[in-house]
Structure 1
Amino acid sequence: MGEKKRREEEVGMQEFIFHRKNYKFMLIGIAVIALGFILMAGGGSDDPNVFNPEIYSWRRIRLAPALVLIGFAIEVYAILLNPDSKKEN
């Protein structure tokens, strides 16, 4: 009987894989990635016969892809972060 009760307690005490701190960093990473894609948008031309050099601006070539990569790095950090490791007993 004692073993059955212990199993029921273990099932009832299931925890999430990630903690609140992990989810905060994940949301920050998603926001940075979205900002990078927003900055990458535009610069095209309405007329296909007219070339618009704005497509090669510094913002679209350097800044936006860097923000996307930084966002992915934040996501990796958020997944690997272990908030329990810094708790003191």
Structure 2
Amino acid sequence: MGEQKRKKESQAEFIFGKKNYKWLFIGLGFIVLGFILMAGGGSDDPNVFDPSIFSWRRIRLAPTLVLIGFGIQVYAILLNPDKKKSKGKK
């Protein structure tokens, strides 16, 4: 009896379900894409100004993607993996 209880307690149980991890990776993808789009635009010569650092992609698009990614991360953490979808049947 005690051995069965120990086996049950030692079994690894994940906090998140498959659905949570899927959303976590989607959010991580948005964040990585945002930071990749933000990168670059520097100049080799410090005396030369490069106006490409103020492009629409770096100022608007990339930070928006990062914020969307963080929002997806919060959703993935708060998502209940045990809740089943109801298909309209009562």
**Same fold? TM cut 0.5:** yes
Tell me, in whole angstroms, the C-alpha distance in 2 between the residues paired with 1:7 and 1:70. 44
**Structure 1 gaps, min length 5:** none
Which string of whole-angstrom CA distances, capped at 9 and with x for unpartnered residues, describes residues 7-49 of structure 1?
2353144421001110011111111100000000011111110
The letter for the 2-side match of 1:78 is: A
**Structure 2 gaps, min length 5:** none
Greater helix fraction, Structure 1 or Structure 2: 1
After TM superposition, the runs of 4+ consecutive aligned structure 1 residues lying more than 4 A away are: none
Residue 83 (structure 1) shift = 2.0
Number of equivalences: 86
Which string of whole-angstrom CA distances, capped at 9 and with x for unpartnered residues, describes residues 30-71 of structure 1?
111000000000111111101111000000000000100100
Q: Do the aligned partners of residues 12 and 87 (structure 1) sit closer, same or farther apart at CA in structure 2, a change above 3 Å counting?
A: farther
What is the TM-score of this pair, normalised by structure 1? Answer: 0.85
User: What do you get for the CA RMSD once the two structures are aligned?
Assistant: 1.7
What is the TM-score of this pair, normalised by structure 2? Answer: 0.84
Q: How does 1:4-83 map to 2 (within 5 A)?
A: 4-5=2-3, 7-83=5-81
